[in-house]
Amino acid sequence: MGILEVKDVGKRFGGLQALSDVNLSVRENTCHAIIGPNGAGKSTLLNCLVGKLIPDTGSVMFDGQSVLGRSPHEINQMGISRVFQTPEIFGDLSVMENILISLFAKRDGAFRMHAFESVADERGLQEEAERMLDEVNMLDKRQMHAASLSRGDKRRLEMAMCLVQKPKLLLLDEPTAGMARADTNNTIELLKEIKEKRNITIAIIEHDMHVVFSLADRITVLAQGTPLVEDVPQKIKGHPKVKEAYLGE
């Protein structure tokens, strides 16, 4: 049994069958990559896992409980955090405030600022936020406006916003899209560290094969809304079905 079990999931948008018969099992403390051509249904699948979309058919179990019918916040509280394709940070706020907002969101289910319930609560959360920033080497940037960070640091901040919620499963949708090589390599190192030191399971959608092969323990190839192959990276490389799926990209 994986920590995440997707069974026979289907999702239709009007006349388009975006997902059909999707089965996926993500094992605890592994990095599972989902790859596939544009329009294969990768983001749709991720949205079904975090409560942004409700599948028409099938089941999604996380840590032994169904996520279906739960709100994104409830799913977040179950232990799933998500990193979006473009960093979702609050540009007008400081780096520190962004981390605090993430802590409040996990606790209260709402993105709001100045939500300390008591002085002790304030001190505790401030310290937790500072520890997190220290761990991702951003403590010196805590007063900076998030909007003025480099692309790589924005991603690092977003990652820290997820990690401070102490998730069991981290979902990432093309986290290195549009990044320069140096920032991509930093992201790879950060994700490796997350997997190894924090015992967080990672499911990642990624286009960049360098990232996929640097991180993944298993890979599922999605094509036209359905899994084509699932295997270890060595077996996916050069797999004829995989080459075929990418032809015409």
Tokens of 83: 């990193």
Contacting residue, 20, 44, 184, 226, with ligand ADP by CB under 6 A: 44
Instruction: State the helix-helix crossing angle for 119-135 and 95-108, rounded to 10 degrees.
Output: 120
Residue 160 touches ligand ADP, criterion: CB under 6 A: no
Size, binding site for Mg ion by CB under 5 A: 2
Q: Which position among 2, 10, 39, 233 is part of the footprint of ligand ADP (CB under 6 A)?
A: 39
Q: Measured from the CB of residue 5, what is the shortest distance to ligand ADP in angstroms?
A: 20
Biggest CA–CA distance in the chain, Å, is: 61
Token representation of residue 27: 């094992």
Shortest Å, Cβ 199 to Mg ion:
27
Does 187 sit near Mg ion (CB under 5 A)? no
Task: Determine, following the binding rule CB under 6 A, whether residue 49 of this chain makes contact with ligand ADP.
Answer: no
Pairing of strands 31-35, 16-26: unpaired
Q: Which is nearer to ligand ADP, 54 or 113 (CB)?
A: 54
- Does the footprint of Mg ion cover residue 43 (CB under 5 A)? yes
Q: Are 171 and 47 in contact (CB under 8 A)?
A: no
Least distance (Å) between residue 187 CB and Mg ion: 17
Residue 76 binding ligand ADP, by CB under 6 A: no
Per-position x/- string for 96-135, each x denoting binding to ligand ADP as judged by CB under 6 A, each - no binding: ----------------------------------------
Q: Residue 43 has which token pair?
A: 């983001």
- Which position among 13, 134, 189, 243 is part of the footprint of ligand ADP (CB under 6 A)? 13
| Sheet with 65-66, side-by-side order of all strands | 16-26, 4-13, 57-62, 65-66
User: To the nearest whole angstrom, how small is the minimum distance from the Cβ of residue 140 to ligand ADP?
Assistant: 36
Q: Looking at 174-217, which runs of residues are DSSP E strands?
A: 201-205
Single-letter residue type at 105: A
Buried b (16+ CB within 10 A) or exposed e, 168-204: bbbbbbbbbeebeeebbbbbbebbeebbeeeebbbbb
Residue placing its CB nearer to ligand ADP in the complex, 53 or 93: 53
Count interface residues toward ligand ADP (CB under 6 A).
11
- Which parts of this chain interact with ligand ADP (CB under 6 A)? 13, 16, 18, 36, 38-44
